[in-house]
Structure 1
């Protein structure tokens, strides 16, 4: 017994020692690093509780871009950085351990979306890292004007204004004018605060990534980008290809695509794919043979007399009245196409509403309201980036000519031109090479969802022809952001990261089918 007791105490002492060492490694801070241009990385205690799993470490830092030292303290740009690392190594098909592929740097979308680095989200990143089976490091950061970055590009008056007008059955022109005026007020508030909007652009973020990679001192990087993040990744590929080992472009937004010029096509493509998808599905076609016609009848009906819904935003709050005008219904369905689950539900929902069941529209309205009021999204950052990236060489006639093929959507384009906030939202001049199509030999994985409403799959198809060392996969059942919504997308990404010079195994795609459209209430 004494020997067993001594062994037990020795074991417990060793375990405590290991835990203490692990705690020391996780809480100890590295010295700050800086570059000659003034950019620096300051390591700090994490602002969230970290995972205590063996073999995993999480470190936090603040990144100060090169120009930050020249700005007053309240205007100084500071970006939060999280580095997640695990010792698990990738395995080849023969079970042998492979060489560390280098860190993965995530580029969030939007523009204006946060990377979600708060306490409630950090464990989700660990779960995703385990699912991706990426070894070494996953580097996360909030881009300028998003999430926890400073200064905050937020205008509380903007969301308050949106909430105040949702109960009004305004026409498209009236509501577009309200957006314009709300943006004017936001712009004035930011100017009063001394915010330099020309510091919030794609090219500035490209320079941030260049400096961040240098400060973290890894020779080869893998970029994982989604939505707008793909535009940023493509600009990095163009400007600083030397450090890039591989690139994942999930839901492609190429720099040569102007948001206003392509708007009519994007909207038309989104709805056309939905109607074609239903028509080509036997069950959907039989259940909803006039889906497209009924939808456009609904738009006419709601334009004349918008129905009202009540949105309940918590037990203690008064319900919010929402007037569902035609353009708001269009937005609701457009937003729903982001999600695979909603894609399957849309034909059923629209047909039920056409038959007079407004309760079927309730969940769709909730999604619409959440998208408008999402606090993790910065409208100001979105405008600064988009107005900067806008192709100033395009004339009003160019934009109208591009929209003429879609006469139903011409009113949206005309109002967009009439009330374009980029007239006053000045965020600097775009570089001459920015709108040029990117050509590169860097190994690149391109992923698209067939039903993606906002970054059409044809954009990824066109890009693949210019990136000579690329592999493109289209997912027949998906909307926007493939990897975060598809196990097959995760498998393809893992296979690519493991060996970017070989085409990923497409076996899982062969098992995917078109959406299983709901045709009966019991299937919901």
Structure 2
């Protein structure tokens, strides 16, 4: 935070401690007798939001109670974790809601990693974070087996039958104090609007990332009068069944990334054609019976011994393709594995599995995808030769066969329309929500615009000049008037040409 921002915060805190109040857009902001801050009907207390690899963010936190079933308000109630990051200066009446992805990620845990992208927006707007029910601090729905492993962890059996049994065990455990049918997108949408009203805000600016873009679009459909602007980063069209096109999208992203290595003399000469290397490594791993390798855990430095499996490679290819910095290492990892050196691949795979398990509440993810997507998923013969194949579709269908769901709203797949200002942003090489998804969404919007960040991957709100463009859009509520030529300076990182990175 700048010196000026610290001064404003200090003066505001002093004024509140003296008993002053400020009227901000229908919500009274002030101090309670016990020293807590309040806004609207919500009472907050100081907290710190943290994430691995990110600077901690000072915030104000509270708990907010909602019905588990919005159609039965007198039934069981659950608490939501809510955080407020105050504006640096005089706040406009419409706060910004940052809606996390996954499905299954916590907004409070995700925000520190993207907080720098909100710096300009916070000059005159509050940021509100609500952990979606079933995630983070909002009645989390986490799944684990008898050994404590989650669905993203190591498992000897990843067959459909085993995953169905895993889901059934998780269902039986969580159903003791949760109606698993009530943890979908529309439940989260209703929660967000209740928090908006309690905060005293007449309208909200919605910022959805990845799966959060689905939430933002559904909120704008359900409560159009309460929405001032919408920003969607890594766009999921309402018409899309999550998971159906993951295999195709990854193949397209890998083809583009590997073409960049072939076009780089050093990468091609030192590491070979990544497409050829992938074919060789894939054949070896799918044949099985590879010897165990000894490798170090990248986090704690401990030694582990494990036989490489194809699942290690598939997960690494998919998740490393999300960002240019990790995608650029894939030619090197494939080169090493093709030459029998699997240690780097296994170390990175272990790091990836551990971080995914910590980030995703798998029970909430199942409640969303089983209730909203599973019925539309179909194995596609065209994907059978891809890296992911139809495994993700088949495993999701197996798990969903054991998961209780509520009927999906009839208009759930209907695109967002109307005149709400919408800024959609995509990364050129996004392997999960490619730019064509952003185009699909904005074509239905009178005041929509789609920006593509050259050379970038998934979730691009914080890259290059995008934070400035984002802040301008929130300020003006005018996507068409933004000058986005600064994005032309972005480019992908060069592919690795050896252990020390790329050659100049």
TM-score normalized by the length of structure 2:
0.82
Structural mapping, 1:84-483, within 5 Å:
84-88=85-89, 100=92, 102-116=94-108, 127-130=116-119, 132-150=121-139, 152-157=140-145, 160-162=148-150, 166=154, 168=156, 174-191=158-175, 193-279=176-262, 284=267, 290-305=273-288, 306=290, 308-309=292-293, 310-312=295-297, 319-374=303-358, 376-390=359-373, 392=375, 394=376, 399-400=378-379, 403-409=380-386, 412-413=389-390, 416-417=393-394, 420-483=398-461
Aligned mates of 1:448, 1:467 — CA distance in 2: 17
Where 1:487 maps in the other structure, the secondary structure is coil
2:488 maps to what in 1? 510
Q: Name stretches of at least 5 consecutive residues in structure 2 with no aligned partner.
A: 1-9, 19-29, 51-56
Match runs of 1:33-112 below 5 Å: 33=41, 42-48=42-48, 58-66=59-67, 76-88=77-89, 100=92, 102-112=94-104
Distance 1:165 1:49 in 2: 26
Matched residues in 1 for 2:486 and 2:17: separation? 40
Deviation of 1:236 after TM superposition, in Å, equals 1.0
> When you count helix as a share of all residues, which structure comes out higher?
1
Q: After superposition, what is the alpha-carbon deviation per residue over 1:208-260, rounded to whole angstroms, capped at 9, x for unaligned?
A: 12222222222232111100000000101111111211111000112211124
The 8 Å contact of residues 80 and 138 in structure 2, kept in 1 or not, is answered as yes
Q: Give the C-alpha shift of residue 194 in structure 1.
A: 3.0
Residue-by-residue CA offset, 1:299-319 (whole Å, 9 max, x unaligned): 11111234544353765x964
SS of corresponding position for 1:426: coil
For residues 147-191 of structure 1, the C-alpha deviation after alignment (integer angstroms, 9 at most, x for no partner) is 1112x31234377245998374x6xxx544433322221111112
| Residue number in structure 1 paired with 2:475 | 498
CA RMSD in angstroms, aligned pairs only? 3.4
Long gaps (5+) in structure 1: 1-15, 34-41, 51-55, 90-98
Partner SS, residue 498 of structure 1: helix
Evaluate the alpha carbon distance shift between residue 363 and residue 339 of structure 1 in structure 2; reply closer, same or farther with a 3 A threshold: farther
The structure number with the bigger radius of gyration is 1
Q: Deviations over 1:114-168 (max 9, x none)?
A: 1135xxx887676554254542211111110111112x31234377245998374
Contact conserved, 2:117 with 2:461, CA < 8 A, in 1? no
TM-score (norm 1): 0.79
Counterpart-to-counterpart distance in 2, 1:158 and 1:377: 19
- The offset of 1:387, in angstroms, is 0.6
Deviation at 1:359, TM superposition (A): 3.4
Q: Residues of 2 paired with 1:415 and 1:222: CA distance?
A: 34
Change (3 A) 1:429 1:159: farther
1:124/1:45 CA distance change after superposition, 3 Å: same
- Is the partner of 1:30 in helix, strand or coil? strand
Aligned-pair distance for 1:459?
Answer: 1.0
User: How many residues align structurally?
Assistant: 468
CA displacement at 1:290 relative to structure 2: 2.5
